Each structure stands twice: as structure tokens, then as C-alpha cells.
């Protein structure tokens, strides 16, 4: 048996309003057309859904039962309308975000925490991984946005990048390290140190090796190899080990009291932070709202670095 869902909504409205006339006005239909629809519903059910009591049409037990189904449909319609409104204003929906380990804890975690507090209908899936892995997830639709170091992308991936903030890598050591007292840092000074290296195959590791090579460092002694930026921070803060870190996430990390950057700049260490997405992906209202908050959080920190 097929029942027109519109008839159930009309039935529920009649029961709610108490009369055909009031329901017709609320539904913006002619009363004869509404009566005809109820007659069709009665024929479909094979039993009356209204009975005459005096001058009023009152729902029968069957009519009251099916009116409840109509009320549930009305409630679902209201919920769908409200959710659609939240979606259109960026108050609800899902964010599928990928990011690099160097940005996850110190940049995105506090921003996402604030964003979720003000967007209670929002759900976030945050994927942390190497940039090459994230670009693959992006191209296959597993994530919609990647917040990470902006780098040239393969044309066949059909990805596009928008610069979020300028950033650079820097060589980090503990406060009071012997290198901080030198007027000039030479390649041989860096070759004499023991290093914390980032995970092999990561873009950060590739940039570290490339930047040091262009500065004239022919080799560096790796004491600790890790894919955890937090481990790298803590290892450097409590020893004479040194490492390379992006400046902006480090400013936001809370480790500034224990570590510092050496006064060494190189164009090879440039590492702008970008927003990467599929070229075909239209940003949702929720994504636009998140990116506005992300830009507000990043710009002051970038200026302070």
C-alpha cells in the first residue's frame, strides 16, 4: 500500500488546527482540494479518518494514529529545514581536514577547539600525516582541505594551493646553547653538532637536508630520528641537540621559554603555510567560516614571529 506523504502532513495539520478551513489556510491550499485529498487517503486506508460530530469533523482513532505519522514527518521537515539553515550559515556540517605533524598540535588544535565551541553543530575529522599521504587523501576525497606547507604540486593531482601565511624554517637549540653565543654560524659549526631529524620521507626532512646543503653543510650527525615534533622540541630543550623547525608553529608551541632560533636565514628555508584543496571542490559555508577563523589566528602570530 502506497500512501502519499503529503496527505499525512495535511491530515496532521487538520488535527493540529482543529478544522479543515484553518488547515487549508495554513497549508495555502483550497479547502475543497484539501477535502479531496483526505477522501483519497480514506480510500487508500479503506476506513474513515474523520467523523462528523455536530458541525465539526473530528479525527477517528485511525485518523489520529495516521496524524501522528504526519506530525513526525512535519517534525523531520522542520529539523531538516533548521539543519539546512545551519549549513548555509556555517553552523553545522563536517570538516574533513588533513595536516602535517608540525602543525597539528601547535597550530590547528587550539584553533579547532575554539571553532568547535562556537559551532556546536560541527563535526571535524582531522587526519595527520606526511604531505604526500595527505595529497593522496585529498585527491581521492578522504579529506577536503589540507593545511600544510605550500609546495609545487603535480599537475595531474588537480590540486590548488592558497597561501595562508608566510613562514620559514629555522635551526632550533636550547636556551644558552654554545651556538647562541657565536657572532656567526658557519657550516662546520653545524656539522659538529648532533641533530634531531624529522621522519625520513617527510617534506620537513627533505627541506632540512636541502636547506643545510645549500648553506654548505655536507653532513650532519643524527642522534634522534622521530616523526613527533613534540618529542623533537623536548629533546632539544633538555640537551645540546639541535633541530630544524618551522617558525610559526614554534611560536605557537609554548616552548619559547626553553628553546630559541639561531640567527641563520636562508632562502632555501622558506616554507609558507598553505591551504590545499581539489580544484573542483566548492568550499562549504562551514569551511569558509573555519578558514576565516584560521586566518585571524595565524596572521598575528605570523607577524610576531
Tell me the average pLDDT across 46-50.
91
Q: Could you tell me where the DSSP H helices lie in the chain?
A: 5-17, 20-27, 31-45, 61-88, 101-103, 109-118, 131-139, 187-191, 203-215, 229-237, 247-253, 285-304
CA distance 114 to 296: 12
A 10 A CB-CB count for 34 gives 21
Instruction: Write out pLDDT tens, residues 94-126.
Output: 899 999 888 888 889 989 999 999 888 889 999
Tell me the average pLDDT across 274-290.
90
- Is 208 within 8 Å of 244 (Cβ atoms)? yes
What pLDDT sits at residue 127? 94
β-strand pairing of 159-165 with 121-128: unpaired
Is 242's pLDDT higher than 70? yes
Main-chain dihedrals φ then ψ at residue 246, nearest 5 degrees? -70, 140
CA distance 54 to 71: 26
Q: What is the mean pLDDT of the chain?
A: 88
Instruction: Write out pLDDT tens, residues 204-218.
Output: 999 999 999 999 999
What pLDDT sits at residue 155? 52
Tell me the average pLDDT across 9-31.
92
Instruction: Write out pLDDT tens, residues 176-230.
Output: 999 999 989 999 999 999 999 998 888 899 999 999 999 999 999 999 999 898 9
For each of the domains in the chain, give its residue range(s) and CATH number, in order of start: 5-88 (1.10.10.10), 92-166+273-304 (3.40.190.10), 169-269 (3.40.190.10)
What pLDDT sits at residue 225? 95
Amino acid at each position: 500500500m502506497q500512501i502519499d506523504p503529503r496527505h499525512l502532513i495535511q491530515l496532521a495539520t487538520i488535527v493540529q488546527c482543529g478544522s479543515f478551513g484553518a488547515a487549508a489556510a495554513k497549508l495555502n491550499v483550497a479547502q475543497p482540494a484539501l477535502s479531496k485529498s483526505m477522501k483519497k487517503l480514506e480510500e487508500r486506508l479503506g476506513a474513515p479518518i474523520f467523523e462528523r460530530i455536530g458541525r465539526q469533523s473530528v479525527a477517528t482513532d485511525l485518523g489520529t494514529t495516521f496524524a501522528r505519522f504526519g506530525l513526525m514527518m512535519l517534525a523531520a521537515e522542520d529539523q531538516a529545514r533548521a539543519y539546512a539553515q545551519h549549513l548555509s550559515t556555517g553552523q553545522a556540517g563536517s570538516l574533513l581536514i588533513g595536516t602535517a605533524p608540525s602543525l597539528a598540535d601547535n597550530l590547528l588544535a587550539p584553533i579547532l577547539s575554539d571553532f568547535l565551541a562556537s559551532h556546536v553543530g560541527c563535526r571535524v575529522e582531522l587526519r595527520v600525516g606526511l604531505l604526500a599521504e595527505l595529497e593522496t587523501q585529498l585527491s581521492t576525497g578522504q579529506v577536503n582541505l589540507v593545511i600544510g606547507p605550500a609546495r609545487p604540486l603535480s599537475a595531474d593531482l588537480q590540486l590548488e594551493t592558497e597561501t595562508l601565511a608566510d613562514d620559514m624554517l629555522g635551526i632550533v637549540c636550547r636556551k644558552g646553547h654554545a651556538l647562541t653565543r657565536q657572532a656567526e654560524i658557519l657550516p662546520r659549526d653545524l656539522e659538529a653538532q648532533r641533530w634531531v631529524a624529522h621522519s625520513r620521507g617527510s617534506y620537513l626532512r627533505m627541506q632540512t637536508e636541502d636547506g643545510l646543503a645549500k648553506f654548505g653543510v655536507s653532513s650532519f650527525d643524527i642522534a634522534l630520528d622521530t616523526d613527533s615534533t613534540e618529542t623533537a622540541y623536548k629533546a632539544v630543550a633538555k640537551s645540546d641537540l639541535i633541530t630544524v623547525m618551522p617558525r610559526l608553529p614554534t611560536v605557537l608551541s609554548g616552548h619559547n621559554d626553553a628553546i630559541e632560533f639561531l640567527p641563520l636565514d636562508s632562502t632555501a628555508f622558506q616554507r609558507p603555510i598553505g591551504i590545499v584543496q581539489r580544484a573542483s571542490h566548492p568550499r562549504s559555508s562551514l569551511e569558509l567560516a573555519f578558514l576565516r577563523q584560521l586566518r585571524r589566528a595565524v596572521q598575528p602570530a605570523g607577524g610576531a614571529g
